[in-house]
């Protein structure tokens, strides 16, 4: 990977690592669906006036927006609203790396390596331990299920991006989400009604608006722009595990600024999931190092 691409990957994981804090701030003021609506309104305005429509069919643009943005964050914001710790959300959603591999294997007929399958088994055990930990905490199991649904949506979005091939990443992020605020608004009306929507807008403070702005401009336009840039230049199975560092940053940030604490089951499960992610990312390089074919480099 080129140096500029390594720097792009570092920027993505740092922005996404701290963005869970801003999600928590947002859902503490307004409903999850209204936070999503506001986020993507800010993404579109005024970017639509300056960003060209990417050279790809509208069906791909709208599929990307619905699957990789509306679906993913409707589930994720809802999980955080249930009280799911943001550090744990950041970790569990990284199971998108494993879902991406499974979808690529079963639908696209790609080949998966031994370490990818081993990583899936290890991470599944970790998720089971986290689920057991949920039973020993005040946080409902629903939160974990919602995060897994978010991860699956993210993985499906990765595959959609790969099928589109080379594309202007910022154009995709902007124009691919032209209907995303509408989806969030419709689900908000279904969830809390028009009166609830009005109450949410009235309850919004500058703090909440600032959180939505960070989610829009940093986490979405910059973060996803760089992520798509990387996905269109490297194999999905190589790029997806780079998000390994997102939960590390998120957990540190959540401990310091949100005073979040996990129980023993959740910590143990988190360590096992992280081990699975490391096997996924480094398994082949460790094997090659051990048999002496090439040096081990991260």
Model confidence, pTM: 0.84
User: Quick one: pLDDT band at residue 36, thresholds 50, 70, 90?
Assistant: very high
- Give me the chain's average pLDDT, please: 85
Residue in 138, 137, 136, 124 with CA at minimum distance from that of residue 92: 124
The two structure tokens encoding residue 57:
């069919």
User: Quick one: pLDDT band at residue 30, thresholds 50, 70, 90?
Assistant: very high
User: Quick one: pLDDT band at residue 69, thresholds 50, 70, 90?
Assistant: very high
User: Quick one: pLDDT band at residue 289, thresholds 50, 70, 90?
Assistant: low
Residue 48 · residue 173 · CB < 8 Å: no
State percent of the chain over pLDDT 70. 90
Residue in 142, 121, 129, 115 with CA at minimum distance from that of residue 238: 115
Task: Note the pLDDT tens digit of each residue in 214-250.
Answer: 999 999 888 878 887 888 788 766 776 677 778 888 8
Residue 115 · residue 283 · CB < 8 Å: yes
- For 235-246, letters b (16+ CB in 10 Å) and e give ebbebbbbbbbb
């Amino acid at each position: 990977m080129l140096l500029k691409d390594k720097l792009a990957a570092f920027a993505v994981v740092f922005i996404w690592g701290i963005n869970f804090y801003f999600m928590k701030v947002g859902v503490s003021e307004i409903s999850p669906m209204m936070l999503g609506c506001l986020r993507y309104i800010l993404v579109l305005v005024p970017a639509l006036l300056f960003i060209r429509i990417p050279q790809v069919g509208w069906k791909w643009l709208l599929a990307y927006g619905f699957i990789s943005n509306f679906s993913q964050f409707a589930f994720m914001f809802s999980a955080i609203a249930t009280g799911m710790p943001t550090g744990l959300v950041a970790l569990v959603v990284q199971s998108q790396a494993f879902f991406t591999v499974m979808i690529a294997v079963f639908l696209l007929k790609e080949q998966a390596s031994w370490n990818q399958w081993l990583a899936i088994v290890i991470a599944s055990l970790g998720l089971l331990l986290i689920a057991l930990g949920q039973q020993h905490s005040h946080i409902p199991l629903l939160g974990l299920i919602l995060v897994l649904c978010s991860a699956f949506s993210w993985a499906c979005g990765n595959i959609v991006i790969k099928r589109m091939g080379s594309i202007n990443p910022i154009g995709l992020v902007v124009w691919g989400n032209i209907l995303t605020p509408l989806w969030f608004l419709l689900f908000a009306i279904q969830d809390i009604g028009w009166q609830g929507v009005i109450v949410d807008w009235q309850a919004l403070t500058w703090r909440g608006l600032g959180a939505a702005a960070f989610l829009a401009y940093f986490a979405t336009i910059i973060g996803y722009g760089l992520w798509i840039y990387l996905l269109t230049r490297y194999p999905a199975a190589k790029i997806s595990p780079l998000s390994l560092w997102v939960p590390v940053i998120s957990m540190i940030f959540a401990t310091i600024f949100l005073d979040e604490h996990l129980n023993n089951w959740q910590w143990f499960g988190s360590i096992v999931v992280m081990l699975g992610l490391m096997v996924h990312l480094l398994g082949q390089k460790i094997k090659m190092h051990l048999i002496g074919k090439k040096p081990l480099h991260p």
